[in-house]
Structure formats: structure tokens, C-alpha cells
Amino acid sequence: MPVQFQGRTIREVKLNSDPKATAQGGPAKPIALTFDDGPWPNTTPEVLNVLKKNHVKATFFIVGKQVQKYPQLMKQVVGEGHAIGNHTWSHQYHHYNNPAAAHEIDRTADLVYKTTGVKTSLFRPPAGILNNGLATYAHEKKYAVVMWSVDTKDWRSQRTTAQGWIDNILKQAKPGGIVLLHDGGGDRSKTVQALPQLIAQLKKRGYQFVTVPELLEMGDKKPKASKG
């Protein structure tokens, strides 16, 4: 975790402006796909299959109780080379005092480590809520609180066509961006169906897919981040 992101809230990453970084092989238009609320039966393996076929690495913000239910899926995510972020144990929208926030985040971190051997410094609060105690605790523990710059709203994708949904994403996409998607939390079949087309459209526009940790490594020393 680059020091400039520790204990910060991030919505996108201002890229290193040094032209040598690109000349040395770094992607000119990096973007990070992130998936929330898993691991989830059926959907997570389907998402992983699409990513594998398209040679894309992503970042999964996982819910502790789902890891407890589906440890093999958690191992598969890590085994296929994707990055992991902490998305609390229970995915509730309560207000948390410090001990309760610690329980939600630390319990999840401990189980992820026990299951996969992975330690993560990434945290995403459920629903992106930053003022209910969870993000405050995460900041104290030097997590990077990772929000997003592109909200796919795929949790309500049944209200629009796949192409309309993708067109909206493409309008918001930019280098250094972080795309919010979901592999869990409900029926995400439309996300799975639209994902290959989304990847193809972004590739056509010159984007290259990276994990959030990789994106942070490409960040300028003065990132577009905040404490709140």
C-alpha cells in the first residue's frame, strides 16, 4: 500500500504524470473493475469465468459472512489472481461505535487470512456510507477506503437494457477510474450477461484492466483522495 493512500478515502486515482512510467510498460489508460457483496453461489464463479476468458484481473470486496458460507469460492477468487478488499462482516447500514466497527472489519480480515493467507489494506463501506463509524475505524487502521468513480447501478439493472447500462458506464469511464459492480447480494445474472460486452467496449476504447492495488501503485504522489 503506497503511503499516500493509507488511511485515505479514494474515489479514483490521479495517475503518475511522469511519461517514463508509461514508456516503461505501464498502461496508459488503466481502469479497475471492482465487485461487491460476494462470494455468491453461481454468480461469483460466472463472473470469474468471464474475467478469465478475457484475461482481466479485478478486485473483489467481500462480505465476511459470505466467506464463512463459501470458503472454496473465496479460495477460487484468490487462486485466480484477483485482489481482495474488506466489505464488513454483515453488510449492515447501522451506526457503529468503535468496538462494533472493529468487530465487523477485523472479524472479516481474520477469516480472509485464515481461509486464503491474504491480508488486505482495502476497505469499502456498505452502500458507500462514510459517516456511520466503519470508515472512521478503517482510517485508524490505515486501510485505504476505496469508493468508486463509476457507479454501474447494476443492482437495479433490470430497469434498463444492457446496452443502456453499458453506455452509461462508458460515459463515466476515465483513466484511473474505479468501476463499481456486484457479484453478490442478490440476482446478478444481468451483470454476468453484460460483463463481456462491457469489457470489450472498454478495451476498444484503449482501457487496460488492473486491480485496485495495481492502480494505487500507478498513483501520483499527490493523489485525488481525502480523509473523509
- pLDDT interval class at 22 (50, 70, 90): very low
Q: Summarize pLDDT for 44-95 with one digit per residue, the tens.
A: 999 999 999 999 999 999 999 999 999 999 999 999 999 999 999 999 999 9
Q: Where are the domains of the chain?
A: 3-16+28-226
**CATH tag, 3-16+28-226:** 3.20.20.370
Q: What positions carry a catalytic annotation? A: 36, 182
CA atoms of 204 and 122, how far apart (whole Å):
29
- Record the cell numbers describing residue 111, joined without a space: 477469516
Q: Backbone phi, then psi, for 43, in 5-degree steps?
A: -65, -45
Percent of the chain residues past pLDDT 90, beyond the cut = 80
Task: Quote the pTM value.
Answer: 0.92
The answer on pLDDT for 164 being more than 90 is no
User: In the 8-state DSSP scheme, what is residue 55?
Assistant: T
The answer on pLDDT for 223 being more than 60 is no
Average pLDDT along the chain: 91
The answer on pLDDT for 20 being more than 70 is no
CA distances from 167 to 33, 57, 176, 194, 208 (A): 16, 22, 19, 11, 18
The answer on pLDDT for 224 being more than 60 is no
The answer on pLDDT for 156 being more than 80 is no
Q: Summarize pLDDT for 165-214 with one digit per residue, the tens.
A: 899 899 999 999 999 999 999 989 889 999 999 999 999 999 999 999 99
Q: Are strands 144-146 and 9-10 parallel, antiparallel or unpaired?
A: parallel
Q: What is the pLDDT of residue 16?
A: 79
- pLDDT interval class at 23 (50, 70, 90): very low
Q: What is the pLDDT of residue 163?
A: 81
* Amino acid in the structure at residue 131: N
**Radius of gyration of the CA atoms of the chain, in A:** 17
